[in-house]
Amino acid sequence: MPEVDTENPNLPSEVVRRRFAIEYVRDFHGVNALARTYDVTPREIDADASLAEQANFLPHDPFTNEHIEQQLFYLQDKLDVDREFLILKTRQVLDQCMKATPVMEKVRGILVESGEYEFDSLGAIKAIQILYDITGIRHQKVMDSDSANQTGVMMIPDQVTPEDWSVVVAKTRDLQDSALERILEEFDPGDDKAN
């Protein structure tokens, strides 16, 4: 029987909640973290309604959440991973996914380039979605394309199919072109003073 908190009998003890916080940052899965905390299987947690409810509630419990944050700060310091690092690495993954690679075909038993190229569109889309989540761009308002005050940010829906990717790329190019035109219109070389 799990220990309970004397102040709130619906919650496990503070020791259990601290242990849950340590386990939770391993995979951010409440059921698995509670199963590791109590040294039982996840099926046993799912089978017990009160434990399943605890697994869902504990990440939002203020005491437990504070310890989860402490664990995250500890891991960040230990691994030297922060928001900028994640943005940089995700951007590198995006660049790698966007590299065009030649499609190979067999001609008389020898692999040769077919003249066509492909790229990992699904990986690129996932990297873009992750970048939107990390940077918070997903939550920013994007202006209508007819508006003069364009932000230059285009939102990609959660479920973009490979067929839609060409449309997304075309819209991105249009935004880049219009932003460049605005910059060139605002730029006046006569403002620069010669040395």
**Over the stretch 50-75, which tens digit does the pLDDT of each residue have?**
888 989 899 888 999 898 888 888 87
To the question of pTM greater than 0.85 for the whole model, the response is: no
| Residue 193 per-residue DSSP state | P
Whether pLDDT at 44 is above 70:
yes
Q: Within a domain: residue 112?
A: yes
Structure-token pair, residue 156: 């990609």
If one counts every other C-beta atom within 10 angstroms of the C-beta of residue 36, the result is 20
Domain C-terminal end among 45, 79, 113: 79
Q: Is residue 194 part of a domain?
A: no
Secondary structure class of 82 (helix, strand, coil): coil
In the predicted structure, residue 195 carries a pLDDT above the cut 50: no
Taking residues 36-47, report their average pLDDT.
92
- 153 versus 176: which is more confidently predicted? 176
**Does a structural domain hold residue 157?**
yes
Q: Closest Cα to residue 115, out of 126, 102, 101, 100?
A: 102
Please count the structural domains in the chain: 2
The mean pLDDT value for 84-102 works out to: 84
Q: Work out the widest C-alpha separation in the chain, in whole angstroms.
A: 81
**pLDDT 10s digits, 103-121:** 888 888 898 888 888 888 8
SS3 per residue for 92-158: HHHHHHCCCEEEEEEECCEEEEEEEEECCHHHHHHHHHHHHHHHCHHHCCCCCCCCCCCCCCCCCCC
Q: Residue 155 sits in which domain range?
A: 95-186
* Predicted pLDDT of residue 194: 46
pLDDT at 189 over 50: yes
pLDDT at site 47: 93
Is the domain of 143 the same as that of 60?
Answer: no
